Amino acid sequence: MRLRNLKNNSEIINNCPFLVKSPDAFIGKWKDNFVNSKNPIHLEIGMGKGKFIYEMALNNPDINFIGLEKFDNVIARAIKKMPQMLPNLLLLNTDAVNLSSIFDHEIDVIYLNFSDPWPKKRHENRRLTSRPFLEIYDHLFKDKNIIIQKTDNIGLFAYSLKSLSLYGYQFEEVSLDLASSDIPNIMTEYEEKFTSEGVKINYLYAIK
């Protein structure tokens, strides 16, 4: 279900001090946007209302985080829900297809949390674990390619396992029921809802 637009979407976005307005201007020098430029940078693609990325930044001050969300109404709600600015958190309001013009081998970890499954075959290349996106990510990663995915959609999860494997990724951890595992986890808003309803969450940690 799509969220309704907030009346002051543009004002919220334009006045947010930790949302980067012209991200392509910082390609190759993102570390300089953070107080501690030596920290690794983790990127969440499709951050939704921001609970995951905000709590990750709050609980991990030795890591710099960037949350990306393409929908104005969603990121505006995320900004409103964040109680304070954190020195290790920045936001981007753009589409993931633009990532190769924003980062140049600067990202250490990518999170894909509850991405749109795009179940129809003709939409396969829109899936964030499809080969076209994996090729984009190659230009983002600083050293090793590390992707962490969570999804309630078993079809997308099976597709991701196959796509990542064919592209040369190996799996450090895989779970078909994250809540029952001992894997450390910060939940997204969707995840809290799904888990309370008894829906099992699929998880993978892939490295290349």
Q: Is residue 17 part of a domain?
A: no
Per-residue pLDDT of the chain (208 residues; tens, 9 = 90+): 455 566 688 888 888 899 999 999 999 999 999 999 999 999 999 999 999 999 999 999 999 999 999 999 999 999 998 988 899 999 999 999 999 999 999 999 999 999 999 999 999 999 999 999 999 999 999 999 999 999 999 999 999 999 999 999 999 999 999 999 999 999 999 899 989 999 999 999 999 9
**Per the domain annotation, does 14 fall within a domain?**
no
Marked catalytic residue, from 24, 116, 138, 177: 116
The pLDDT tens digits of the residues spanning 27-84 come to 999 999 999 999 999 999 999 999 999 999 999 999 999 999 999 999 999 999 898 8
Would 100 be classed as within a structural domain? Answer: yes
Domain annotation covers residue 3: no
Domain count of the fold of the chain: 1
The CB-side HSE value for 114 (13 A sphere, CA atoms) comes to: 20
75 within some domain? yes
Q: What is the CATH number of the domain that holds 182?
A: 3.40.50.150
116 is annotated as an active-site residue = yes
Q: Which residues form the domain of 135?
A: 26-207
pTM of the model: 0.95
Nearest by Cα to 128 from 85, 166, 95 = 95
